[in-house]
Amino acid sequence: MKSERAPLLLHDRLAGLAAFLPVLQAQGFEFGRWGGGEKNGDDVITMPYFALSEQAAEFVRAAYDLGWVLMDFDWPRWKHTLQAQRLRDDPEALAKASPQQLAQLLTVCIRQDRFVEGGLAADFESGLLTAVLTRVCVLLARFERDRVKPQLGDGVRKEG
């Protein structure tokens, strides 16, 4: 029998992911390294691959464990939508993203990396991952400051 964990509160999900922003922004932080591509003695070339650093791998594990990587979500289709493109390409749109939209975007970034070697590293290098985490931190700070309850769908509403 598979054990089911109780769903985490949104505050805990935000806090868990927000903890990675200082890690990813630390001076000298390395998201990972490219390996492979070398010829061995038999003229066989090893396929290039990207190996995540320990901290980057912890970020990915936390995203899964905290429910930021959505399982029942058609991310290959969604990533081509106007909403996805705006969140990815427009810093103003990302700065207004709801927790649900952040989860959708993170799902694309993390899941796509299984099919596009180094894709997640490119998302880090472009600043997309730190921008997502910055938005997570803003939502968390607003939650804690104003005692608001961020909704998964349409932004943030005050508890009342």
Give residue-wise pLDDT tens across range 97-135.
999 999 999 999 999 998 988 999 999 999 999 999 999
The alpha carbon dihedral of 78, 80, 82, 87 has a sign of positive
Among the listed ranges 63-67, 98-102, 149-153, which one has the minimum average pLDDT value? 149-153
**From the centroid of its chain, how far is CA 75?**
13
In terms of C-beta density within 10 A (0-12 exposed, 13-18 middle, 19 or more buried), how is residue 110 classed?
Answer: buried
Q: What is the pLDDT of residue 9?
A: 84
Q: What is the DSSP-derived secondary structure letter of residue 6?
A: P
The owner of tokens 């190996």 is: 51
93 has pLDDT over 60 = yes
Inter-CA distances, 35 with 45, 48, 80, Å: 12, 6, 30
The alpha carbon dihedral of 9, 11, 15, 21 has a sign of positive
Stated pTM of the model: 0.82
Q: What distance in Å separates the CA atoms of residue 148 and residue 139, rounded to the nearest whole number?
A: 9
Q: What is the mean pLDDT of the chain?
A: 87
Q: What distance in Å separates the CA atoms of residue 38 and residue 31, rounded to the nearest whole number?
A: 22
